[in-house]
Chains A and B, each alone.
Chain A
Amino acid sequence: MRWHSAWERALAALILLGTLATPLVISWGGQDHFRLPKQLLLVALAIICTAVAAMGLVLRKLEWPLDLRLPLAIAAAGLGWGVVSGIASTNRALSIQALLWGASVAALFLVMAFALRVASVTMLAVALFIPGLINASLLLLQAFEIWNPWTFDAGMPRRLMRNALLGNPNDVGAYLGVLTLFAIALLLTTKRWPYALVAATTGAALVATETLTAIVALSAALIVMLIIRMPRIGVAVGVIAPLLVLTALLLYPATGVRVRALERSARAGMWGEVMSARLPAFVAAWEMFRDHPLLGVGPGCFKFHYMSYYAEIERRYPRLLVNAPKGTIFVQTHNDQLQLLAEIGLPGYLLVIAGIGVLAMRAFRRSRGVARLLAIPLATLVLVMMLASFSMQLAAPVWTCIVLGGGCLAWSDSDVA
């Protein structure tokens, strides 16, 4: 057993503190109660952790491990490309803010991959599941209309009142999807029943959010996990499961209504409604990418160009907007993959995908721990969620994903939890 320095333990403590606090922090009196406080906490911890790591390296109290050189190189290349794209940006002030977010996430991921060697899987599980269970329990109380701490405007759809401490059911869904996956991975590797309880609670709350993207992403990740664990059964389940999930979604009253409404809209050719009015945002992002394939329009600049591209869509592809609800302004594309292509171009997008690929490669190490079981399903979940949400721009889901991704790179073969 290697002796860990006080610097390593300090970094791990900061990360565990952030893991506990990020999904819980809110600003009671602020204009933005939920998202901004979490984002600011993530950025603050990224700066502090990076500074502590840099000071430790300068003072020779820390040593950067060889096996983290590839993630470091990809993160550095990604950030370098982001800076190039930012310099060529169509709106530099917006790009500086977006780069700060990207740099914070990349730096935290690296620090986590380094510092979590000190923290066991169980320690991280506790730090993740405490706020996870608080949010899941609150959401279930809201869903069953037993108690809701927030007051809402009259006429607010019931689904939007299920927001726990994250402010929006989609944010909660993305966050709980990652936690449920981790709890199931721990259950399969350790056979300890408390993880079943956690998975059941977070999974039930996830279904109660009616967040289809997160439910589909979790289902895909679980199929991949099953294929890794039991290849033959996994493949069979991979064929049957989508049918079962669809049946379950149809049978559960709340999601059933949404699925049937989607089916009716699709039959009527109302594609704008089928895609939750997101189609114009997807097309606008694609058009931005086509106009700026190498450098993109600049980090954070999608929102600046959306209205003008919408006018262009009306002119060039009017049929895409048949029955599309009017007036939804998209600050995010609701498709992180398209937004990356639009904002930082193809090279930047490929570097982000390479970063996720590094995480998935962890599964090919010879080991039996939870990291090996979790790595590819986690990468799958992130990639699927990035197809129909902007969860990688939200602090709580992002923190949860990168802390688990960092853990997968950090934990040694003996860390079976």
Chain B
Amino acid sequence: MTTPATTDDRRRIDWLLTIAVVAVAATFIRAIFFTPAEARQGLAQKIFYVHAPSAFIGLYVAFGIVAIAGALYLWLRDERLDRVAASAAEVGVIYMTVVLITGPMWGKPIWGTWWTWDARLTLTLFLWFVFLGYLILRGAIEDHDTRARYSAVLGVLGALLVPFIHLSVYLFRTLHPMPIVLKPGHPSLPNSMLATFAMSFVSFTLLFVALLRARYRLAERVDALVAEEELEPSPMPNLRAEPIR
């Protein structure tokens, strides 16, 4: 049973999340006020400092964790791995939502269109729907083992899209540009922009770790509650046992 001491512990401020929020705020300030605008694209290029780190972390880190934790769950059947996968999927969907919102906002002034059905964009939207389905699936199944098993399979299969999304700019003719930082050789960015990108990458990674940790802890508490509630006797016998005064 939950003791008052542990409940008090949970009221403490999440310092990692606080530091991550401050780091992201500092990145926004640096990007807006202290980073030069790109000459041809104008100020819209600054969307890069939100869009690119969110895409990298959402796509490779979050959905990578979902796939690895899901595969390990199918092997080891450890419920902690299921919690890690579910938490990473939820945070990953949030990151990819930001990517899918900020991408068109960058595309409109540069490409002249909000959206185009090219390989990179279409596959990314499809991946987002797959992991949205993953979260809906988890909410729809009550039995813990069935839910964990089905969602692990979907998580592994969904993450198979990630290499296709990565290679889509090389394999197909797309409007989406090729990588300018994470590519073989030197990044095609001046140092001032590269420093802001590095700062945004670190701060969004920190935010991801903090959100994942907070979501995992929440899942742990909810699972403990559900397990205890299942052990509790029905309230009806209690009512009958209550003394008559």
A and B from one assembly? no
Chain B residues close to A by CB (< 8 Å): none
